[in-house]
Chains A and B, each alone.
Chain A
Amino acid sequence: MARVDSRIITVILLVATLTLVVGLLASCRSGDAGKKSKPKVLGIASPETYEPTIGSFGGRLVLATMGEPKSFNPIVENESSSREYTMIMWEGLTKSNPWTNEVEPNLAISWESDKSGLVWTVKLREGLTWSDGEPFTADDVVFTFQTIYDKRYICAMRDIITGPHGEEWQLERIDDLTIRFTLFDKNAIFPQLLAEGIIPRHKYKPLVDGGQFESALGTDTPPEEFVGTGPFLLKEYEPGRQVVMMRNPRYWRLDKAGQRLPYLDEIIFLLVPNMDVRLLKFQQGETDILDLRGEDFPVFAKEQAKVDYNLYRLGPYLGRTHLLFNQNTGVNPEMNEPFVEPHKLKWFRDKRFRQAVSYAMDRQGMVNNVFNGLGYPQYGPFNEASKLFFNNPGIRRFEYNLERARELLKAMGMEDRDDDGILEDAEGHKVQFNLTTNLENTQRNAVADIVRKDLETLGMRVNFRPMSFNALISKLDSTFDWEACIIGLTGSTEPHWGANVWRSSGRTHEWFPRQKTPSTDWEAEIDDLFARGIKELDREKRRQIYFRWQEIAAEQQPFIYLVAREITGVIRNKFANIFPTNLVVLREWALIHNLEEIYIKVE
């Protein structure tokens, strides 16, 4: 009897609490009734509309970011959570136009090559100084590249600018403002590579020479040690709480009125790992800017009493998601067994199979279900909606078409002969395989679930087994015992950044990495295209080379591209000079890539 009572009480209590909460909610809602307005939904800017106005000084911008900074060192290997800060503190010799991606002058004013294309003369801007007042000279540039080439430090940039036999670029100081680069081979993206942040020789030379540069500029380094050329410098870092960056009074850029940028005094990065909390903090007014998930968009788009922000839809993000099959013909040396069962390998290496799968992908369904409609179907390495220079608009598109998919499978001999709903191949094997992805990414898991359903509609049996990121990487990179997998790659506007993925000898040539010789003709052709592409200095000819690569990739479908999410975000409408772009690696920067020009409107 007593037990029943306490249970009833519990239920009553629960109901009471819920009623209270709902009541509170309702009272808040009804209290706001009256004049409501809808926030403005804005799109991306363009080079034509980019006209920064003259602003006023002072104020700060607060943003919440996910990751804890691991280091503030711009040279030594760093992850995206650290890159946010280093790219503000140290600028490069060149930078890319935010919308067209054309290389533009920054700390350098010009770069010219001789006829051979191997010797480049780079001229620096006059009168530049470091944040501590020391002049910025050619020595700093030479020093930076020496540090990059220093084998004691791990640096992603070094591997890009090192030849296959360890050749290095030679740098020579001509005078204070002129450097001559001698390359070991022609390099079409040389100007882009100059965008790497330059570090001060006078400040860091002893650290680099002494071998302590890796732990230098870490999260425990005093802020005075950070001497840069960027608009903001580190002021304070408090673990787990925030990173504060302050105005660099010696930043080199001036506005149209000749005033020294940046306008804002401080940028505060709150370290908030949870997305829901970041959302709350924006709603409470604690932060000024927020990168939205698809499902959060309606919350900000609907009518409300007080609208002090603008909402942005900026087009596809560069990162994308794709499905791939293991085409590795190798044999596990320990067990003496093939990495992939021979009959499955036969399917995976047949382009008709991959094409059929691509036809069966309901990409629009993924956009609607996973991204709440805020995404784009993707058919090739570049998203058409971005209208990039290197995007080939004429590639073959495998739009959702189950009929065509079935025809292709039938041509391979795959049919459901015993009427159990599952296809059998010509030799009678049931068409079933394992599909995996990394557990941590919930959106990717949602995509994978739709992929599984789509494949089951075709009559394939798919065992979906997500695993941890580390486990997945070890399968892709060393044990090769996987069948189908969904992963994402950081995208880029420059095709050559994908060279290590597309070249058959590449370590991240995921469907069959590190091949001694290309296992197919089309892989051999792609190898050749990438080798030619990097050496072709004529932009239009280069474009044609990469157009051909996209044609092959679309025909062969080694990567079955699925979807790209849309970048959506909100920023308080008190900020002016917001000219968003979608061509960013860090989504949070889409709205504030021109941080130094952003200012707070004076009422």
Chain B
Amino acid sequence: MISYIIRRILISICMLLAASILGFGVMKLTPGTYFDRLKLDPRIDQETIEREIGKRGLDKPVFQQYGMWLWRFVRGDLGDSFSFKRPVAGLIRGRVLNTLIMNIAAIIITWLIAIPLGVYAAVRQYKRSDKLLSGLSFVGMSLPGFFLALLMMWVFAGILGILPAGGLKSVDHDEMSLLGKVGDYSRHLVIPTVVLAVGALASLQRITRGKMIEELRQQYVTTARAKGLSESRVIYRHALRNAINPLITIFGYQFATLFSGAALMEIILNYPGMGRLIYEAIIAKDEPLVMAGFMIGAVMLLAGNLLADILLCVVDPRIAYQ
């Protein structure tokens, strides 16, 4: 097991290297640099712009630039953001916690709701409640997140006025008591969490349902029932444990998105998360910040996959890695 993990980590490093080359390459292939923005400002001279470009090594060959970036990255230096003129690490630190809170809340809600609903639908296959749930999940799956976010804001903030219109804290947050602050956070988290959960919930519920239906048809279920086990024991103890494998793989992917925000939704909900920061960096071609966001995504994806594989091994004794 340990040797397997070490091998996986070594492979991951190679993958990261390949991913970084791809990311860096794509970024360089898109036209323009951050400093092009200055070119439209009639007050700034050509030499000034060239000096700024030279200072950051953007006039060097792409390979050399990549080498410089990689060398810094390996030593743990993410560089300075072009637009903020301060270290990228500090910028990301300011956002990462917000994104983490939102994503963890969404994952918990998704799992708490999706699995019981999936099991419920599987047990009552083709009954009216199953169809209702199917209908709901189709609606949930096909609703784009940003649209749902806008809709919820419009209804709950605009018309009913019971939830705040985006953001993470109220204007007078700092004057609140501890309890008040927690309440304030929760009120602001309702819409983003629900929006994120609705998207993920639907597919998770569908997969649980499908896998459960498959397991419930297996002979060991019939055996268990014949043994006289209670129906809940049959379902939750026996069938569900066997149905859980694909869900763990999905969990691995969800884990990967923990630090990466949903840019579109964050912009609409005015949520100070990673998505907005990186999106704006991409638009402005703030290269160090874009690469940092990209690498965080890549590392988390690889880590999530590894985690899922290890969990699979723990949950299912049939799976063993050499």
Contact = CB atoms under 8 A, between A and B. Distances in A.
A7 B132 CA distance: 10
A24 B159 contact: yes
B182 interface: no
Contacts of A220: 86, 90
Interface stretch (A255-263, A267-275, A547-555): A267-275
A281 interface: yes
Q: Which of B36, B41, B85, B98 is most buried by chain A, counting CB atoms within 10 A of its CB?
A: B85
Interface residues of A, number: 68
Contacts of B270: 270-274, 277
Contact of A6 (B31, B135, B160): B135
A200 B177 CA distance: 39
A365 interface: no
A280 B36 contact: no
A149 B321 CA distance: 66
Contacts of B237: none
A286 interface: yes
A52 interface: no
A12 to B, nearest CB: 8
Nearest to B142: A10
A132 interface: no
Contacts of B32: 470-471, 473-474
A25 B280 CA distance: 35
A465 interface: no
Contacts of A157: 43
Contact of B43 (A6, A10, A70, A160): A160
A6 B131 contact: yes
A70 B83 contact: yes
Contacts of A76: 85
A473 B40 contact: yes
Interface string B266-296: 0111111100110010010100000000000
A156 B39 CA distance: 11
Contacts of B161: 284
Contact of A470 (B31, B94, B158, B165): B31
A428 interface: no
A240 B272 contact: yes
Contacts of A13: 135-136, 139
B139 to A, nearest CB: 6
Nearest to B138: A10
Interface in A58-88: 62, 68, 70-71, 73, 76-77, 79
Contact of A24 (B43, B150, B155, B267): B155
B157 A508 contact: no
A283 B52 contact: no
Interface stretch (A381-389, A498-506, A534-542, A576-584): A498-506
A51 interface: no
Contacts of A154: 38, 44, 48, 51-52
Nearest to A14: B139
A21 B94 contact: no
Interface in A353-370: none
A286 B171 CA distance: 8
Interface in B92-151: 94-95, 98, 126, 131-132, 134-136, 138-139, 150-151
A272 B85 contact: no
Given A470-B30, A473-B32, A283 B41 contact: no
B236 interface: no
Contacts of B256: none
B153 interface: yes
B166 interface: yes
A313 interface: no
Contacts, number: 169
A219 interface: yes
B91 A473 contact: no
B131 A159 contact: no
Contacts of B126: 2
Contact of A507 (B39, B90, B153, B271): B39
B45 interface: yes
B36 A156 contact: no
Nearest to A28: B159
B46 interface: yes
A21 B138 CA distance: 20
B37 interface: yes
B166 A281 contact: yes
B84 interface: yes
A154 B44 CA distance: 9
A352 B30 CA distance: 38
Interface string A126-168: 0000000000000000000000000100101111101000000
Given A77-B38, A283-B158, A71 B30 contact: no
B90 A477 contact: no
B167 interface: yes
Which residue of A5, A157, A277 has the most chain B CB atoms within 10 A of its CB atom?
A277
B181 interface: no
B61 interface: no
Contacts of B98: 240
A277 B269 contact: yes
Q: Pick the most buried of B84, B138, B269: most chain A CB atoms within 10 A of its CB.
A: B84
A241 B131 contact: no
Among A24, A73, A273, the most chain B Cβ lie within 10 Å of the Cβ of A273
A407 to B, nearest CB: 35
Interface string A77-114: 10100000000000000000000000000000000000
A474 B171 contact: no
Contact of A239 (B39, B135, B272): B272
A218 B155 contact: no
B43 A71 contact: no
A241 B95 contact: no
Contacts of A474: 31-32, 36
B184 interface: no
Interface of B: 30-33, 36-46, 48, 51-52, 80, 83-86, 90-91, 94-95, 98, 126, 131-132, 134-136, 138-139, 150-151, 153-155, 157-161, 164-169, 171, 267-273, 276-277, 280, 283, 285
State the 7 A-B residue pairs at the shortest beta-carbon distance, nearest first. A240-B272, A470-B32, A500-B42, A9-B135, A280-B165, A156-B43, A10-B135
Given A471-B31, A508-B42, 5 more contacts: A79-B37, A162-B45, A277-B268, A280-B166, A474-B36
20 contacts: A9-B134, A13-B136, A21-B151, A71-B84, A79-B83, A159-B43, A160-B43, A218-B85, A240-B95, A241-B167, A270-B167, A274-B166, A280-B154, A280-B166, A281-B165, A283-B158, A286-B164, A468-B31, A500-B43, A507-B46
Interface of A: 2, 5-7, 9-10, 13-14, 21, 24-25, 28, 62, 68, 70-71, 73, 76-77, 79, 151, 154, 156-160, 162, 214-215, 218-220, 238-242, 268, 270-274, 276-277, 280-281, 283-284, 286, 440, 468-471, 473-474, 476-477, 497-501, 506-508
